[in-house]
Amino acid sequence: MTDLATLLEVGGPVAALGGGAAYTRANHPSLYWSAVGGPISTVRLLSSYASVMEACGLTVPPSRLRILAVKATTRREVRPVPPRRGIIRPTSTGLRLRLRLAPGQEPADVAASAERLRHAWGVHAVYVSTVKPGVVELRLVGFDVLRKVRMPRKIDGGFLQVPVALREDAMPFVRDYRAVPHQLTLGATLSGKSMYLRHLVSGLASQDVALVGVDCKRGVELAPFASRLSALATDPDEAAELLPVLVKEMEDRYDLIKARQGIAPNTPDEEITSDVWGLPESERPVPVVLFVDEVAELFLTVTRKDEERRDEMVTQLIRLAQLGRAAGIYLEVCGQRFGAELGKGATMLRAQLTGRVCHRVNDEASAKMALGDIAPEAVLAACAIPAERPGLAVAGDTSGGWSRIRTPCLSLGDAADICREAAHLVPDLPALKPFRPYVPVPLPSVERPGPAVQPRPLAD
Ligand SMILES: Nc1ncnc2c1ncn2[C@@H]1O[C@H](COP(=O)(O)OP(=O)(O)O)[C@@H](O)[C@H]1O
Ligand SMILES: [Mg+2]
């Protein structure tokens, strides 16, 4: 009897602790990592560092001096030397540590062992990045941060930069319009493209930027942001009127820059500029970001007359993509596919869109349209995105690398609220005035009256 009591006394709390830990691990991985996973992995790392490095082939033979020193002072066996390790810095999602590479090693050697290191130290993933020549940083991620995305609290996003998603190594993925002026976002339907756009619109809403939307799905995705949009086209006819106005605006901006260059023959070199950013702030026109959701709707034609209009629109988009950057006009294009089958000019336009994000796609050809020029592995990674993880995407970056990213969840209503609160920030652009979308005045919420007669089940 006493045995049973002891068993209950000891076993009960242990079982509760185990159950609690398992629950926390599944539902609050960040908390579990800080309380349990992190300390365990740190101990594993500290205790096994030298042997793991040796097993991964990342050690070098000891120098002659070292051999002499070890032999003179101790009777220990002389071991190969692992890379010198910096201090371990814990973060809310993992650990970071720097390694000084031994002579003859390169960062790729460490990166090649990332998978082995992750198993040895019991973490979700290990990423390697170069800090400076000879020093690499190991970023250990404790759990799958893309399962339930929470953006880091401290992100320094500047002007025209929007931290739009989280990368698999727990770093924010920042959409920087000045570094990558135009971007193409591809993905099958329900893959999370509009969610991605939603984050960009709400991220830019608080900045001094003009937002222009072309949403040929009758505006269902972009119309909720009408209060912050400077212009909105909801069908190809409206788009055909809006695009030439944007091209004209771009040409006017070039004229402005040219006028500035010609002020006086003896203008100092540093005051001559070839883009709007060199203009003094008082004269600088506001940047314009053009969002195009479901781009194929602009390309598809039914009649011959439509075809002419389509060709014109494609030409205008190509011109905006080619020359827009210096005039502060940026394109953000979303679509399901973007191949030559869309018609004349489609591939040329695609080539102008530097940034690439590919959500889940239905076939490899679509992934190749987005990521084919970046890396074959990126195409495979995009093809492997499961349907039950909308918002997961593969993003190519400017250095030719790529990473998996996922946007946090943001409801259309919340994004629309953000835009409504920023409605006073819509910049004054006379050319776009005629295209300003109609913003319905929100009705005061009225309690819906209940039914006059309470229904009663028939068989009582
Ligand atoms: N990052 C995300 N996390 C969770 N759910 C998402 C995410 N991105 C999209 N979704 C969900 O997936 C569905 C489709 O997203 P949507 O952006 O409309 O796709 P698309 O525009 O590609 O058709 C929506 O119901 C949305 O709530
Ligand atoms: Mg969509």
Residue with tokens 């998996």: 404
Residue-range definition of the domain harbouring residue 389:
161-435
Residue 176: strand pairing partners: 161
| 244 and 291 part of one domain | yes
- CA-CA distance, 210 to 344, in Å (whole number)? 29
pLDDT value at 445 more than 70: no
- CA-CA distance, 444 to 410, in Å (whole number)? 24
Write out residues with Cβ below 6 Å of ligand 1. Answer: 187, 189-195, 390-391, 406-407, 409
d(CA 302, ligand 2 centre) in Å:
22
339 is annotated as contributing to ligand binding:
no
Nearest ligand 1 atom to the CA of 196 is 17
pLDDT value at 369 more than 90: no
Q: Quick one: which of 330, 27, 98, 38 has its CA closest to 201?
A: 330
| 107 and 167 part of one domain | no
Q: At 98, which CATH number?
A: 3.30.980
191 is annotated as contributing to ligand binding:
yes
pLDDT tens figures, 163-209 = 999 999 899 999 999 999 999 999 999 999 999 999 999 999 999 99
**Domain-embedded: residue 29:** yes
| 252 and 223 part of one domain | yes
**Domain-embedded: residue 351:** yes
Measured N-to-C along each axis, helices 304-323 and 236-261 cross at an angle, to the nearest 10 degrees, of 30
Strands (E), 64-209: 84-85, 89-90, 94-100, 125-132, 135-141, 161-167, 172-176, 183-186
Ligand lying closest to the C-alpha of residue 296 = 2
d(CA 395, ligand 1 centre) in Å:
17
Q: Whose CA is nearest to atom 15 of ligand 1?
A: 192
- Over residues 258-266, mean pLDDT: 70
The DSSP annotation for 72-110 comes to HH--SPPPPBPPEE---EE-SSEEEEEEEPPTT--HHHH
DSSP type of residue 438: P
| 392 and 430 part of one domain | yes
Ligand lying closest to the C-alpha of residue 412 = 1
**Domain-embedded: residue 272:** yes
What six digits make up the tokens of 225? Answer: 């942001």
- CA-CA distance, 334 to 294, in Å (whole number)? 6
Mutation pick for ligand 1 pocket among 148, 150, 184, 195 (CB with most ligand atoms within 8 Å): 195
pLDDT confidence tier of residue 230, bands split at 50, 70 and 90: very high
Q: H-helix or E-strand containing 253?
A: helix 236-261
For residues 214 and 230, is the Cβ–Cβ distance under 8 A?
no
What six digits make up the tokens of 233? Answer: 């086209």
| 390 and 311 part of one domain | yes
- CA-CA distance, 411 to 221, in Å (whole number)? 11
Nearest ligand 1 atom to the CA of 165 is 1
129 is annotated as contributing to ligand binding:
no
Nearest ligand 1 atom to the CA of 408 is 1
Q: Whose CA is nearest to atom 8 of ligand 1?
A: 391
d(CA 390, ligand 1 centre) in Å:
5
Q: H-helix or E-strand containing 368?
A: helix 364-371
- CA-CA distance, 372 to 380, in Å (whole number)? 10
193 is annotated as contributing to ligand binding:
yes
| 401 and 294 part of one domain | yes
pLDDT value at 21 more than 60: yes
**Domain-embedded: residue 152:** no
Which residues place a Cβ less than 5 A from the ion ligand 2? 194
Q: How many domains does the chain have?
A: 2
| 112 and 235 part of one domain | no
**Domain-embedded: residue 290:** yes
| 372 and 316 part of one domain | yes
Lowest mean pLDDT among 69-78, 180-189, 210-219: 69-78
What six digits make up the tokens of 447? Answer: 């309690």
pLDDT confidence tier of residue 120, bands split at 50, 70 and 90: very high
Residue with tokens 């992750």: 118
3-state secondary structure (DSSP) of residue 374: coil
| Final residue of a structural domain among 109, 141, 173 | 141
86 is annotated as contributing to ligand binding:
no
d(CA 179, ligand 1 centre) in Å:
26
Q: At 364, which CATH number?
A: 3.40.50.300
| 316 and 277 part of one domain | yes
d(CA 343, ligand 2 centre) in Å:
22
Q: What is the pLDDT of residue 391?
A: 93
